[in-house]
Amino acid sequence: MAKTVKITPELREAIRLASEEYTQLGLSRITDVDQSGIGKYISGKIQKINEDNLMRLLPILKKYLPADSQIIKIRENYGTIGQKVTMIDGESGDPLDGELLKAIQKMSIVQKSRLLAFADDMLKS
């Protein structure tokens, strides 16, 4: 089952602004996120967004979100989590243990972001 993230007012507004610039259809075509879903995110009929859809939308939404937005930080961390954990897991940079990798893949995006913050702290010490 796909992980979901609560749609915050700032995220809803960013989706609305992007759909004004690109239209809902255009935004859907660019991001491969269902057009009706985009409309429902904006209207509030859908309260949570699938993690995959969020990752597809964020490159466009980034300019409509505050620079200190937690959502942007999550997006920036999303692609580097496996690499950072690998650095902690094995001094030599060995690949992640299969069970650990499976556990990380099952985490929500927020949990992954917290794991990355922890990994960064571990690497600094």
* Same domain membership, residue 55 and residue 108: no
* Same domain membership, residue 55 and residue 14: yes
Domain that holds residue 10: 4-65
First-to-last C-alpha distance (Å) of the chain: 36
How many structural domains are present in the chain?
A: 2
Residue 11 — φ and ψ, nearest 5°? -70, -45
* Same domain membership, residue 91 and residue 42: no
pLDDT in tens, 38-80: 999 999 999 999 888 888 898 889 889 887 777 766 555 554 4
Q: For residue 4, how many other CB atoms are within 10 A of its CB?
A: 17
Paired tokens of 106: 């099952």
* Same domain membership, residue 15 and residue 52: yes
- The reply to whether 70 falls in a domain is no
Greater pLDDT, 85 or 49? 49
Tokens 């913050």 sit on residue: 117
Q: Please report which confidence band the pLDDT of residue 100 belongs to, taking 50, 70 and 90 as the band edges.
A: low
Supply the CATH number for residue 37's domain. 1.10.260.40
- The reply to whether 73 falls in a domain is no
